[in-house]
Amino acid sequence: MMFLMIAAIFTRPNTVGNVREVISKLIEQMEAAGWECRLDQYTAGYIGAKPYAGEIGLNIDQAIVLGGDGTLLSAAQYIPSGIPVLAVNLGNLGFLTTTTADQMEQTVARVLKGDYQILERSFITAFVRNKVPGVVNDPPISCFAMNDIVIKSQDSGRTLSFGITIDKQPVAHYRADGLILATPTGSTAYNLAAGGPIIYPTLKAVTITPICPHTLTFRPVVVPASVEIAITAGPSQLYIDGFDYGTIHQTDELICTGSERSISLIQPRHMPYFDVLRLKLGWGQ
Task: Looking at the structure, tell me whether residues 35 and 142 fall in a common domain.
Answer: no
Q: Establish if 246 belongs to a structural domain.
A: yes
Strands (E), 19-61: 35-39
Residue 135 has a pLDDT of 61
Is 266 among the domain residues?
Answer: no
CATH number of the domain residue 28 falls in: 3.40.50.10330
Alpha-carbon gap, residue 156 to 66, rounded angstroms: 33
Catalytic residue (choose from 40, 69, 148, 252)? 69
Look at residue 99 in the predicted model and tell me its pLDDT: 87
Q: Are residues 148 and 241 in the same domain?
A: yes
- Torsion angle, alpha carbons of 74, 123, 115, 83, to 10: -70
Dump pLDDT digits (tens) for 92-148. 667 888 888 899 999 999 999 988 889 899 999 998 887 766 666 665 677 899 999
Residue 43 lies in a domain: yes
Q: To the nearest whole number, what is the mean pLDDT of the chain?
A: 89
Is residue 178 over pLDDT 90? yes
Structural domain boundaries, residue 153: 124-260
Per-residue buried b or exposed e for 242-258, using 16+ beta carbons within 10 Å of the residue's own CB: eeebeebbeebbbebbb
Q: Quick check: is 270 in a domain?
A: no
4: burial class by Cβ within 10 Å (0-12, 13-18, 19+)?
A: exposed
Cβ neighbors of 54 (< 8 A, separation 6 or more) are: none
CATH of residue 256's domain is 2.60.200.30
**254 and 138 in a common domain:** yes
Domain contains 282: no
Q: Is 32 helix (H, G, I), strand (E, B) or coil?
A: helix
Do 131 and 175 lie in a common domain? yes
For position 52, what pLDDT does the model report?
Answer: 95
Per-residue pLDDT, 100: 86
Query: Does residue 1 surpass a pLDDT of 60?
Result: no
Number of domains in the chain: 2
| 280 assigned to some structural domain | no
More confident position, 22 or 17? 22
Backbone angles phi and psi of 94, in degrees to 5: 60, 55
Yes or no: say if 243 and 140 are a contact pair by the CB < 8 Å rule: no
| Single residue among 83, 115, 147 that ends a domain in this structure | 115
pLDDT band at 263 (very low <50, low <70, confident <90, very high): very high
- Write out pLDDT tens, residues 54-85: 999 999 999 999 998 889 999 998 999 999 99
Same domain, 233 and 173: yes
Would you state the pLDDT for residue 198? 94
- Render pLDDT for 212-259 as a digit per residue (tens, 0 to 9): 998 888 889 999 999 999 999 989 999 999 999 888 888 889 999 999
Q: Is 69 a catalytic residue?
A: yes
Q: What angle do CA 136, 131, 262 make, to 5 degrees?
A: 75
pTM: 0.89
- In this predicted model, which residue has the larger pLDDT, 281 or 185? 185
Residue 257's SS3 state is: strand
